[in-house]
Structure formats: C-alpha cells, structure tokens
Amino acid sequence: MLLTGATGFLGGSVAAHLIADGHGPALLFLVRAEFPEQGLERLRDNLRLHCVPETELKSLQESQILCGDLLDTVWMYGERARLMRVEQVINCAAVASFSKNPSIWPVNVEGTFAFAKLLCQSRNLKRFLHVGTAMCCGPQRESPVRESWDFPDSEEQLVDYTASKAEIERRMREELPSLPLVVARPSIVVGHRELGCRASGSIFWVFRMGFALESFTCGLDEQIDVIPVDYCAEALVALALKPTLNHSLYHISAGHGSACTFGEIDQAYADARGEAPVGQRYRKVSSDDLRELAGSFESRIGKANPRLVLRALRLYSGFADLNYLFDNQRLLDEGIAAPPRFTDYVDVCVQSSRDVSIPAQMQWDFK
C-alpha cells in the first residue's frame, strides 16, 4: 500500500493506524524530501505527534520512502517501477488551507491528476482511495447532505480549497475511467479521541474563539458535523482494505446520530475548563457584525492580528452558516462503526490546548 500525506494531520493518523494494525513493513510513503533519509526523519517526527512507539518508528526503513510531492511530478518517472507494484493507494496529500495559498490548485488538481493518471496504467492497482472533503458540495444543499457527484461552479465554492477538491474528483472520474477510484469525503475533522490537539489544533481554535468572544454566527441550538481524526483514519483504512465496496463515494461524518449542538459543545467545553458555560451570554451575530467584535479580540483571545482573525472568522462562519449534516449511512452499511460525538472528547482537546494560544492554534489552518 502507498500512503501520501503521511507527514500531515490526517495522513499521519492513517499511518499510525496502519502501523498499529501491523501493516508498517508493507507500506510505502510519498514524502516531500530530497533523499530517503531526510524523508524518513520527517515521517518519524510527525508520527511521534501521533504517539507511534519508538520501536515501530525505528522499524521503518529508508527503502519505504518515495521522495517527491504533488507539486513537481518529475519524480514519478524514476519511481514508475515501484508505483506499478502498488495494490492500494490512500491519497491524503493536499494543500489543506483556507488561505489563498498559490499551491492549492497545482497540488490538489494538477499534481494529483498526474499521479492518478500514472497509476491508472498499473495492472496491480486494486483501489485508489482519494480523500476529498464533504464541504465540496457547495452551498444551497438540503441537509442532511447525501453523497453526490454534482458540484457547483468553482466561483460558488466558499474557498479555493473546496473548489480544488471538487475539480480533481470531476477530472479523475471523467478522464480516468479505468482508475479503480473510491472517494471518501470527511466532514469537519477536529482533534483526536486520545491525543486531543497534540498533532494538530486545526479548527478547534474556532470553538475556543467563539466561546471566548461569546458570539458567533451559529445559534446554540444548531448542530455541527464533527469527527475526530483517529475515527476518520480508521474509516479510511477500512475503505482501502475491504475487498468489495457497495459504492465509490462515501461521507465520513457524524451524521444525524452523532452530531452535536453548539449548546452541547458549550457545556462540554465549560466542564473541561471548570467554568460555567457561556449559555445565555452567547449572542448569535451576522457575518457583517463580526467586525464589531474586533475591539475585544486582544482582551479575549490574546495578542493577534485583528484583520487576520476577522478574515478567519468570516471564512469559518460561511461554512457554519450552511448548518450541514452529512449523511453517513453508506459508511455504516459497510460495517464501519458509528463515530463518537464531539462532546465525548472535547475535554481531551481542551487539556491538550492549555498551553497554546488561540492565535497560535489558528495558524494550523492558514499556512
């Protein structure tokens, strides 16, 4: 099996899960590095954040590293022989940023397509599991959102990242019909059931900021679809290794059964901090009203660039305002366990974030 993106948040969790299940020796890792020794150290450094035992890290070999990335695909031709022997691919590699990162389209679309096109020539490839995002469905969908290959135009997408993920799915399906493609679209991935935010504070800072400001664009009675990264990783591995699947597209999501209201999250967050919940002090505001909160940013969340904070809040309010749940019945029908609720592990995320400021944690999503 070949895993891409193993030096990232989700890919690192997938790697940790595969190693824990005894698949470590059979794995290949695509790592951005000039030479295998450097790539192996990058991989090990990330896997330490996921608490992979040192004995397992030492057992990983330089021969398991493919040096390259999806921004410059020249490396593929030198590694063609090894790539043609791969039976499964879990493609977690992507520029997962809500910023205007210029690499988003070259990596997420052009590089990923070149990678998939080459692997399409393999007679050994049984499954190409591509990790998308549930939010690529765009606005104006009926919740719970069901799996669909229909996408809005790129200009209707909220950010470049979701537009790029929709476009690469379209291109692979339309232009590479022989690719054994399965797409998994996670919903909102936040924290880890046991490690909290140790590996990444991605998106958890939004909840911290909302409760610190006692205001956001969602009501406390509204729900949000959140899953932990380790559950997402378990589901991806199951989809990659299951001999047969009923569909080629799946949501990995909380769905109706495990979604939480913001009020429930407020209570769990307050309990973890030993404080009273925001509760009746909380104000639901419009996106336009967020600017009025800027004067209290420093006193409530710490020293930060107010323009960047305001921009971040507006971006995330756009997703939150959709008020989406993503149907996960296809996943459950494959025998994959139901996800935990966010409130079940919010306390772990809180404890692991105690020494990290909200502005510092925000940097995970604006690299």
pLDDT tens for 195-254 read 999 999 999 999 999 999 999 989 999 999 999 999 999 999 999 999 999 999 999 999
**CATH code for the structural domain at 2-192+225-258+324-340:** 3.40.50.720
pLDDT tens for 51-105 read 999 999 999 999 999 999 999 889 998 999 999 999 999 999 999 887 788 999 9
pLDDT for residue 154 is more than 90: no
pLDDT at 329: 98
Q: Band of the pLDDT at 367, cuts 50, 70, 90?
A: low
Q: Provide mean pLDDT across the span 35-57.
A: 97
Average confidence score pLDDT of the chain: 94
| Residues 267, 341: Cα–Cα separation, whole Å | 13
Q: Band of the pLDDT at 299, cuts 50, 70, 90?
A: confident
- pTM value is 0.95
pLDDT at 298: 83
**How does DSSP assign 152-188, residue by residue?**
--GGGSSSHHHHHHHHHHHHHHHH-TTS-EEEEEE-E
**How does DSSP assign 249-294, residue by residue?**
EEEES-HHHH-EEHHHHHHHHHHHHTS---GGG-EE--GGGGGGGG
Nearest in space to 163 (alpha carbons), one of 242, 255, 100, 117? 100
Q: Provide mean pLDDT across the span 313-331.
A: 89
Domain boundaries, the chain: 2-192+225-258+324-340
Q: Provide mean pLDDT across the span 164-192.
A: 97
Contact at 8 Å (CB) between 177 and 334? no
pLDDT at 85: 97
Structure tokens at 24: 């470590």
pLDDT tens for 258-291 read 999 999 999 999 999 999 999 999 999 887 888 8
Residue 109 DSSP one-character state: I
pLDDT tens for 327-346 read 999 999 999 999 999 999 99
| Residues 288, 339: Cα–Cα separation, whole Å | 34
